[in-house]
Amino acid sequence: THFGFETVAEAIKEQKVRGVFSSVASSYDTMNDLMSVGIHRLWKDYFVRNLNPGQNPLKSSSSSEQGWNILDIAGGTGDIAFRMLDHASTINNDPYTKVTVADINPDMLAEGKRRSLVTPYARSPRLNFVEANAEKLDMIPDSSIDLYTVAFGIRNFTHKDVALREAYRVLKPGGVFACLEFSKVNNTLFNEVYKRWSFGAIPLIGQLVAGDRDSYQYLVESIERFPSQTEFRDMIQDAGFLVPGQGWEDLTGGIAAIHKGVKP
């Protein structure tokens, strides 16, 4: 607005998201396990297996390049990145694929770096961490990325459309955008149970286990506000991507979904 209220509101939102993730960085696994009853680990395994990092040939790669150049946005504690590198190395025998983990929150990145020390990728050129806002990836050149992943991150972004356009910019032609995110449950009865669980139990568990009701309340509300599968698919198309098939795959009845787009 004329008085800049929107900018103030957005700054407050960004600050709030920062605060939420700073306060949950160390209890992050507990949080995810509680919120998803442990299922987030299976979703992440499936997400990575399905993308099959390191598989050759990749359409977007030129023949001189070896391995995939992956950008994991909102990569936080490295959950997706470590899985990608493990998959490339052990399943595809590919020692070249590399992952850049980008996150807006230095506490989450610090936790990711700490965790990387017990992986084979500690201090390896295959893994690096950058502090960055998904809406402004100035340090990543145009058309340089084979695979852009974002898991449980995009619903926190202030301008999702801007982030999607940045994803489009940094991907090579033929490169893939892949998003794993909470979504809309597609069965009415199951939805009733799910809503009771998320609005009733999760903030309470947050309070009891992490002593932090507000952060968990925020997380539940951010899931509720996130667009439906079709709306989000349309946003991906609006950013210029081609979507394969219907554009998404539901996981566990739509509690989560994987959306994909290909840069033409």
Positions touching ligand SAM (CB under 6 A) are 17, 21, 73-77, 79-80, 103-105, 108, 133-135, 151-153, 156-157
- Report the nearest approach of ligand SAM to the CB of residue 63 (Å): 31
Q: State both tokens at 125.
A: 């050129």
* Residue 133 or 198 with smaller CB distance to ligand SAM: 133
- Report the nearest approach of ligand SAM to the CB of residue 38 (Å): 13
- Report the nearest approach of ligand SAM to the CB of residue 227 (Å): 16
Task: With CA atoms as reference, report the closest residue to 74 among 116, 108, 107, 24.
Answer: 108
Burial bucket for residue 101 (CB in 10 Å: 0-12, 13-18, 19+): buried
Burial bucket for residue 23 (CB in 10 Å: 0-12, 13-18, 19+): middle
* Residue 145 or 151 with smaller CB distance to ligand SAM: 151
- Report the nearest approach of ligand SAM to the CB of residue 192 (Å): 25
* Residue 182 or 194 with smaller CB distance to ligand SAM: 182
* Residue 15 or 144 with smaller CB distance to ligand SAM: 15
Answer for the pair 84, 48: CB distance below 8 angstroms, yes or no.
yes
Cα-flanking dihedrals φ and ψ of residue 183, to 5°? -140, -155
The CA distance from 183 to 15, in Å, is 24
- Report the nearest approach of ligand SAM to the CB of residue 104 (Å): 4
* Residue 88 or 256 with smaller CB distance to ligand SAM: 256
